[in-house]
Amino acid sequence: MTRIVIALGGNALLKRGEELTAANQRANARIAAEALAPLCAGNDVVITHGNGPQVGLLALKEIAYPGEDAPLDVLGAETEGAIGYMIEQELGNVLPFERPIATLLTMVEVDPEDPAFQDPTKFIGRIYDEAEAMAEAAAKGWTVKPDGKHWRRVVPSPLPMRIFQLNPIKWLLEKGTLVIAAGGGGIPTMYEKGTRRLVGVECVIDKDRATALLALEIGADIFICATDADAVYIDWGEPGQRAIRRATPDAMTAYSFPAGSMGPKVEAARDFAHATGGRAIICALADVPAAVRGEKGTTITNDAEAGEMVFF
């Protein structure tokens, strides 16, 4: 039996340009469930997902109420439950009734000494003009930065160190359960200095990096980043752009990819393949079954021929 970990990109529940309504999220969860159902038959499967738009919406709702804004760890937990519920229900509608499915709220530890805390880079929440942003920063202790012609709040994005719910995830897999976990990169937590007291953190963990760590820790054979791109491209957007079909981790290291989109996916896939000898795949959601067969998407694996890239 093959053990597969799949990271659903943000488009799994919200396509570009769509309004963040329950109906739209439900419809997209149904599409994701139908695309993944063939892979779930006969395999151990763990699904993770993004939550950026959903956290942003909840943060905006908090503004309507006086008092302290809800911390990001709490918003992350809320969205893990809500999104997991939708995916779980839609998978249950297309898989055999006897296949158990479970969603786990998943805490992920980060290092308080991670350099990311000294240079926040992850944009979250609404847009402001400069004066509004500076006023919000002064009032709430935020860090704000320009995002194009607007200003937005930025928070750290530290590396994931440990996934606390690993044992429950493994137990569920051993019982044939399809598991939904580590949504949005997991609920960010850390230990207070010098203590064993766990606390939430105002940061956002990259979903693909957290998923790669999860895949490594549970001994996955295949790690999949399902996104809205059909493959990883060299020179994307240029006349000579080329889609990578297959490559070794070392070959991928020779190229750089956008930090805000494909970069973390390539890094996570590359690190998983290098550490485990397993296959890492980056592909469109609809192409997941074909990509596992090697017919679509980009596969990163140690056994690619002579360390060279193969292009479509």
- Which listed residue (9, 11, 51, 297) is catalytic? 11
- Which listed residue (265, 278, 296, 297) is catalytic? 265
| Predicted pLDDT of residue 9 | 82
Query: DSSP for 37-100?
Result: HHHHTTSEEEEEE--HHHHHHHHHHHHTSSSPPPPHHHHHHHHHHHHHHHHHHHHHHHS-TTS-
Rounded to a whole number of angstroms, the distance between the first and last alpha carbons of the chain is: 29
**pLDDT tens track for 171-229:** 999 999 999 999 999 999 999 988 889 999 999 999 999 999 999 999 999 999 998 88
Q: Quote the tokens at residue 94.
A: 């297309």
Phi, psi of 256 (to 5 degrees): -110, 150
Active-site residue 11, yes or no?
yes
Least confident residue range of 106-110, 112-116, 301-305: 301-305
Q: How far apart are CA 173 and CA 308, in angstroms?
A: 35
With tokens 């395999």, the residue in question is 43
Active-site residue 140, yes or no?
no
Q: How far apart are CA 187 and CA 23, in angstroms?
A: 25
Mark 60-92 as b/e (b = at least 16 C-beta within 10 Å): eeeeeeeeeeeebbebbbbbbebbbebbbebbe
**pTM greater than 0.85 (yes/no):** yes
- Which listed residue (9, 10, 76, 84) is catalytic? 10
Say yes or no to pLDDT of 65 above 70. no
Q: How far apart are CA 219 and CA 197, in angstroms?
A: 29
| Predicted pLDDT of residue 56 | 64
The edge-to-edge listing of strands for the beta sheet with 198-200 is 160-163, 107-110, 187-191, 198-200
From 298, 300, 301, 302, select the one nearest 233 (Cα to Cα).
Answer: 298
Active-site residue 307, yes or no?
no
Active-site residue 207, yes or no?
yes
- Which listed residue (50, 56, 84, 122) is catalytic? 122
- Which listed residue (28, 207, 278, 297) is catalytic? 207
Q: What is the mean pLDDT of the chain?
A: 88
Instruction: Give residue 304's pLDDT band: very low, low, confident or very high (50, 70, 90).
Output: low
Q: How many CB atoms lie within 10 A of CB 235?
A: 10
Active-site residue 170, yes or no?
no
Least confident residue range of 111-125, 147-161, 255-269: 255-269
**141's torsion region: left (phi>0), alpha (psi -120 to 50) or beta?**
left
| Predicted pLDDT of residue 115 | 95
For residue 171, CA distances in Å to 35, 102, 167, 177 come to 26, 12, 6, 9
Instruction: Give residue 305's pLDDT band: very low, low, confident or very high (50, 70, 90).
Output: low
Domains of the chain are 2-110+163-311 (3.40.1160.10)
With tokens 């980043």, the residue in question is 225
| Predicted pLDDT of residue 187 | 96
